Amino acid sequence: MKSGVLRSSGAGVFADPYADAAAAGARVIAVASGKGGAGKSNLTVNLGLALAAAGRRVIILDADLGLANVEVLLGVTPPASLFDCLYHGRDIREVLVPAPGGVRFISGGSGFLELANLDRRRRERLIASLALLEEEADFLLIDTGAGISKNVLAFLAAAGEVIVVITPEPTSLTDGYSLIKVLARFRSHRRVLLAVNRAAGEKEAVDTFRRVERAVDRFLDIGVDYLGAVYEDRAVTRAVRAQVPFLLAEPRSQPAKSVTAMAGRLLTGGREEAARRSGIKGFFHRLVRVFE
């Protein structure tokens, strides 16, 4: 496990210099999984739509550098990406793409790969530009790539809150646990949220959560909270094929109801963790410092 590439010392890498201003800022939530195909992109998109349906302003950021899944799931084609903000002087608000269901979407493109190469001036400009989003959103949801690469970990450690998606498959459980273990080492979060995907039903979902929770409680200095479960359901695959998110295409399906319940839980719970590290500007500040 190569977590050493990311500085995790208490040197304040993740300290938030905007903590006071951030209290009223957007909640920045990164969605992660140890293993690919766990359901991150579907959860990010549909959770965003559920929060939007609850009247919140939602921006979805695709930070999966390998696979730009969000645009495929939403059925939209972004005319520009974060890369264009960095190198072609585009305002961040120009790369915000309106998507069905009232959410807006930003394609990271290869922009995030460039963070490491930016000079200080460009970085500062990027942060200032991204801070403009603060007034545009209540939630910034980030779809990340799978695994524990430096890039992914940087997003997770910098995010205000983290959702880890696991499935009942043994390999997904162990990879999910490994991811939480690395996060625990950064001491960036006191708690993470766990979402179970593709369980056969409630019993398997809760069992899956409990197994991870037991191991985490026993061995790691971090807490896990149950966000909810999306069962194995054809509504998900149908939605992926039709390029219309299941929350919009089949609002009465189990996945749609479950994701709506998760949105409700986010809105009523997790206040403490949220208040401690909210704000888009603080998030990007922490993110960029990792690459310095």
Ligand X SMILES: Nc1ncnc2c1ncn2[C@@H]1O[C@H](COP(=O)(O)OP(=O)(O)O)[C@@H](O)[C@H]1O
- The edge-to-edge listing of strands for the beta sheet with 139-144 is 97-98, 104-107, 58-63, 139-144, 27-32, 161-166, 191-199, 223-231
38 contact choice in ligand X, Mg ion, none (CB below 5 to 8 Å, kind-dependent): ligand X
Cβ proximity of 165 and 155 under 8 Å: no
Choose, by CB under 6 A, the member of 16, 28, 29, 33 that binds ligand X: 33
Give the whole-angstrom CA distance, residue 72 versus residue 68. Answer: 7
- 3-state SS of 89-111 is CCCHHHCCEECHHHCEEEECCCH
Site residues for ligand X, 40-99, by CB under 6 A, read 40-42, 69
Identity at 10, one-letter amino acid code: G
Does 233 sit near ligand X (CB under 6 A)?
yes
Give strand pairing partners of 270. Answer: none
Does 171 sit near ligand X (CB under 6 A)?
no
Instruction: State in Å, rounded, how far the first CA of the chain is from the last one.
Output: 22
Does 69 sit near Mg ion (CB under 5 A)?
yes
Does 258 sit near ligand X (CB under 6 A)?
no
Cβ proximity of 222 and 191 under 8 Å: yes
Q: Which is nearer to ligand X, 84 or 161 (CB)?
A: 161
State the nearest-atom distance from the C-beta of 10 to Mg ion, in Å.
32
Choose, by CB under 6 A, the member of 205, 230, 280, 288 that binds ligand X: 230
Q: Which is nearer to ligand X, 25 or 255 (CB)?
A: 255
- Reference 103, options 39, 49, 163, 27; nearest CA is 49
Identity at 271, one-letter amino acid code: R
240 contact choice in ligand X, Mg ion, none (CB below 5 to 8 Å, kind-dependent): ligand X
Site residues for Mg ion, 159-198, by CB under 5 A, read none
Q: Which is nearer to Mg ion, 40 or 185 (CB)?
A: 40
Residues near ligand X (CB under 6 A) are 33, 36-42, 69, 197-198, 230, 232-233, 236-237, 240, 255
Residues near Mg ion (CB under 5 A) are 40-41, 69
